[in-house]
Amino acid sequence: MSEFQLYADAFTEADRGDLVGFSCGESKSGKFCTEWIMGSGAFDSMNRGSSVWLYRIETGQVVGYGSVGLVNWRWPMPDGKYTRLLYIPMLGIDQKFQGQPPDPDWRYSRQIMQHLVTNAIRMNGERKKPAEYLLLLVDPTNEAAIRLYQRFEFQLIPDVTYGAGLSVMKHRLAK
């Protein structure tokens, strides 16, 4: 197995100690990615039913984290019916591991995305009424993140922003 192989485990309170020194960087996106996992954001999301994973390398060092959740939204009125959507609340990579390793086949960001999409597909397959889309929010100024998501077949939804000017990307799930 490659030394760059990532390992994934469900994030628990006991893992907090492993996050000492974890930082996704000083950019705007980096700061909120760090704060989500270091503060109460991840556990708030888990309380709403999301799954959060920590990704480690063989030595146990934390490379990053990722999450997948399910939300019930309503179509606009007058329809107003509920529809289920899968989404990736947040993912982050410690700045030491961003862009690493040089071999794109083992790039940590891609291993994490692969794992998240695979899990979203698995979760969807377990549902009687599967969701049609997997969504995520992205800082529209974070071009590297957008490119990464596009590589995993996410499309930017035009003319839609959410909350603090975040763009929404969608990935149409396999049947």
Q: Residue 25 interacts with another protein (CB under 8 A)? A: no
Stretch of residues binding another protein (CB under 8 A), selected from 36-44, 98-106, 142-150: 36-44
Contacts by residues 99-102 (CB-CB < 8 Å, ≥ 24 positions apart): 101/4
Show the tokens assigned to 168.
């929404």
Alpha carbon distance 51, 120 (integer Å) = 10
Q: What angle do CA 90, 58, 8 make, to 5 degrees?
A: 35
Q: Which of 125, 147, 150, 153 binds another protein (CB under 8 A)?
A: 153
Quick one: 38 or 146, whose CB is closer to another protein? 38
Q: How far is the CB of 29 from another protein (least distance, A)?
A: 8
Stretch of residues binding another protein (CB under 8 A), selected from 26-34, 97-105, 141-149: 26-34
With contact defined as beta carbons under 8 Å apart, do 115 and 53 qualify?
yes
Quick one: 9 or 143, whose CB is closer to another protein? 9
Q: Which residue has the tokens 């969807």?
A: 124
**Per-residue contact track with another protein, 53 to 92, x per CB under 8 A?**
--xx-x-x--------x-xxxxxxx--x-xx-x-x-xx--
DSSP state of 101: S
Alpha carbon distance 31, 107 (integer Å) = 22
Q: Residue 27 interacts with another protein (CB under 8 A)? A: no
